[in-house]
Amino acid sequence: MAPKNILFLMTDEHRWDYLGYMGHPAMQGLTPNLDRLAQAGTVFSHCYSPNPLCMPARNAIHTGLYTFQSGQMNNIGDWPLELPTFTQALQRLGYHTALTGKIHTHEGVGFDLDLAEPRWREEIRALGFDDVLQVAGKTMAFFVDDDYTHYLQAHGLLYRYREDIVERVEARGRGESGWWPSILPEEHYIDHFIGQKALEWFRAYDGERPWFHMVSFCCPHPSYDAPASALARVDLNHVPLPANNPQAERYREMVANYIAQIHVVDQNVGRLLDLLEERGWLDDTLIIFTADHGEMLGDSGKGGKCYYEDASVRVPLLARYPGWTGPQRLDRSIVSCHDVAATMIEFAAGEDRAGEYLPGCSSRSLVPLLLGKVDRVREAAYSENGGQFAAPWRMMDDGEWKYVWLNESARELLFHKAQDPLCLHDVAAAHPDIVGRLRRAMLREHLDHPAPKSGRAAYSPHVEHRIGRERLKKYNKAL
C-alpha cells in the first residue's frame, strides 16, 4: 500500500463517555462532526490512558512506551527528548509532518519559558515535526508563552486573559464557582485559534509527500471557560450531575462548560473535515481521534485526573480509513491510547515495524483489529499514576475487573465494573484467583517492557503550580 495521509486529532482531559456517538444524552447534537467520523469508522469503547496525566500520557503516545519505561511519570521536568518517537519514524517513511496545538513536552511551570523561541521550537522539530505551531495549554498560558499567547498579545488580550485565570482561581478559593464564559471574543478562543491555524496549513500544503498532521486541541481541560455561544447550546436542566457526591448540584455549571468546550472542538473538527473533502483528501486519510486522559467531573467527590476510576483513566478512541473500517463498528476490546504509535507506523510502513523504530515499544498496532483479523490485541490495559497530584497506584483493567495496586501501602484492590462502575466496593478478598491473575498480568507488563535506556526523565525540583496576583503583576510590568 502506498503511503497515505494521516490526521491525528487529540483533545485534552476528555473522558470516554462525553460524546454523542457514545450515546451520552447530554451530548446529542453537540458532536455532529466526531459522530460523522464514528459513523464511518471503528469506535474503541474500552480505551485507557497509560497514565492519566498530561505529560506522561502524551509522552507515551509519542514514544510508544509505558511511563515506567520512559521515566516520565509526572508533569515534572521535560520529556526525555532523546527517546525515539513515532513522528520521527513517519519522517523516515517519507511523510511531511506537522503539529498544530498542544504536545506538552516542557514542564514550564515556574520558568520564564517562551515556546515560540527558536531553541524550543527546534526541540519540537527534532521530535519529528517538519512544521510546528505550538500551544502550551489553557491554564499553562498563565505560565508559558507560545504561539497563542503571542497572538493574544498582538490583539491586546493577553494580560486580560491571564487576569481572568487568576480571578477563576480566586473565586474557587472563596468557595465560589469559577466557571463563567470566556472573556475573549469568540474568534480568539484557544481552540478556534488552533482550528484556524490548522486550516491555514492545509490550505497552503502543496508538497508531493504524504502528510501527517497532529491537530491537538486544549479543550475540555480547565479553565472551564467555554464561549457564551457554545454554552447557550447546553441545556442546564439536563446536565448530568456527578454520582456519589452529596454536593452534586454545585457542579452543574462546571459540567455544562465541559460539554460546551467539547462542542467547540467538534466545530473545528467539522471545519477540518470539510476542507479535507474539498481538497480531495478525505478518503485518502487515516483519521485517528483520542485524548490523553479523562476527568472525574465530581464523581465520588473527585475532580481532575490521576485516578484509577474510568472517568479519569478511560478515553475516547476512534479510527476512520475507508476500506479498513467501513460503516460504524463498535469494538469493545481492550486498547490503550498509546497504541496509536504502533498503529500509525504500520499504516505508513505497510507492516508492523514499531519495534524497529521504537525500541522497547509497548504500543500494539490496532491494524489487525481494524481489518477484522483478530478480536483483541490486549488481554487487559495497564495504567499507573506517579503520585504528583494523587497517591500513586498501578492498575490492570480487563473490562470486567479492575485490579489496583496502591504503591504506598502495597494494598491490592479489586472492583467488578458491571456491578460497581464507580469502584466503591473492594472485593479483592472474595476473588483471590482474579487478583492473582491480574497481578501476574501486571508483572508481565513490567518484565516484558524494560526501559530502553539507562537513567530517567530529566526531573527538575518540584515547582508548585502557583497562579496568583503576585505573578500577574510581573506580567503587567512586562507589557
CA angle (442, 444, 449) in 5-degree steps: 105
CA angle (129, 192, 220) in 5-degree steps: 85
Closest CA to 72 of 103, 101, 98: 103
CA 105/CA 310 separation, integer angstroms: 25
**Which residues make Cβ contacts (< 8 Å) with residue 169, sequence separation at least 6?**
178, 467, 468
Let me know whether 255 and 364 are in one domain. Answer: yes
If DSSP codes are grouped into helix, strand and coil, which group holds residue 55?
helix
In a domain, 194, yes or no: yes
Taking the CA atoms of 194, 70, 346 and 446 in sequence, report the sign of the dihedral they define: negative
The separation between CA 268 and the C-alpha centre of its own chain, rounded to angstroms, equals 17
Residue 463: per-residue pLDDT: 56
**Which residues make Cβ contacts (< 8 Å) with residue 231, sequence separation at least 6?**
181, 256, 257, 260
Tell me which DSSP letter residue 458 carries.
B
Let me know whether 56 and 13 are in one domain. Answer: yes
If DSSP codes are grouped into helix, strand and coil, which group holds residue 171?
helix
Let me know whether 422 and 372 are in one domain. Answer: no
CA 389/CA 407 separation, integer angstroms: 14
Tally Cβ neighbours within 10 Å of residue 444.
14
In a domain, 234, yes or no: yes
Let me know whether 414 and 462 are in one domain. Answer: no
Let me know whether 406 and 272 are in one domain. Answer: no
CA angle (34, 40, 44) in 5-degree steps: 70
**Considering just the CA atoms, what is the radius of gyration of the chain in Å?**
21
CA angle (360, 12, 36) in 5-degree steps: 100
Tell me which DSSP letter residue 45 carries.
E
Tally Cβ neighbours within 10 Å of residue 240.
18
Cis peptide before 220 (omega within 30 of 0): yes
Assigned C-alpha cell, 463: 515547582
**DSSP calls for 390-448:** S--EEEEE-SSEEEEEETTTTEEEEEETTT-TT--S--GGG-HHHHHHHHHHHHHHHHH
Phi, psi of 158 (to 5 degrees): -70, -50
Let me know whether 442 and 461 are in one domain. Answer: no
Assigned C-alpha cell, 311: 472517568
In a domain, 28, yes or no: yes
Let me know whether 355 and 396 are in one domain. Answer: no
Let me know whether 23 and 69 are in one domain. Answer: yes
In contact, 106 and 113? CB cutoff 8 Å: yes
* AA letter at 342: A
In a domain, 241, yes or no: yes
Residue 466: per-residue pLDDT: 76
Let me know whether 205 and 225 are in one domain. Answer: yes
Closest CA to 375 of 21, 19, 46: 46
Go through the chain and tell me how many residues it has.
479
If DSSP codes are grouped into helix, strand and coil, which group holds residue 418?
coil
Q: Long-range pairs for 168-176 at CB < 8 Å and ≥24 separation?
A: 168/223, 168/225, 169/467, 169/468
Taking the CA atoms of 357, 370, 24 and 381 in sequence, report the sign of the dihedral they define: negative
In a domain, 168, yes or no: yes
In a domain, 386, yes or no: no
Place of cell 515535526: 129
The CATH number for 398's domain is 3.30.1120.10
Number of domains in the chain: 2
The CATH number for 214's domain is 3.40.720.10
* AA letter at 409: S
Closest CA to 168 of 177, 156, 160, 155: 177
For 22-45, letters b (16+ CB in 10 Å) and e give bebebbeebbebbbbbbebbbbbb
CA 100/CA 79 separation, integer angstroms: 19
In contact, 125 and 117? CB cutoff 8 Å: no
CA 140/CA 146 separation, integer angstroms: 10
Assigned C-alpha cell, 43: 469506535
Let me know whether 398 and 373 are in one domain. Answer: no
In a domain, 225, yes or no: yes
Residue 65: per-residue pLDDT: 97
Print pLDDT tens along the chain (479 aa). 667 999 999 999 999 999 999 999 999 999 999 999 999 999 999 999 999 999 999 999 999 999 999 999 999 889 998 999 999 999 999 999 999 999 999 988 877 899 999 999 999 999 999 999 999 999 999 999 999 999 999 999 999 999 999 999 999 999 898 999 999 999 999 999 999 999 999 999 999 999 999 999 999 999 999 999 999 999 999 999 999 999 999 999 999 999 999 999 999 999 999 999 999 999 999 999 999 999 999 999 999 999 999 999 999 999 999 888 777 889 999 999 999 999 999 999 999 999 999 999 999 999 999 999 999 999 999 999 999 999 999 999 999 999 999 999 999 999 999 999 999 999 999 999 999 999 999 999 999 998 876 445 444 445 566 788 888 888 777 66
In a domain, 153, yes or no: yes
Tell me which DSSP letter residue 390 carries.
S
Let me know whether 244 and 287 are in one domain. Answer: yes
Let me know whether 318 and 430 are in one domain. Answer: no
Half-sphere exposure of 343 (CA within 13 A, CB side): 28
Tell me which DSSP letter residue 156 carries.
T
Tell me which DSSP letter residue 354 carries.
H
CA 41/CA 337 separation, integer angstroms: 16
Assigned C-alpha cell, 458: 530529566
Q: 0.75 exceeded by the pTM?
A: yes
Task: Give me the domain span that covers residue 125.
Answer: 5-379+455-478
CA 462/CA 459 separation, integer angstroms: 8
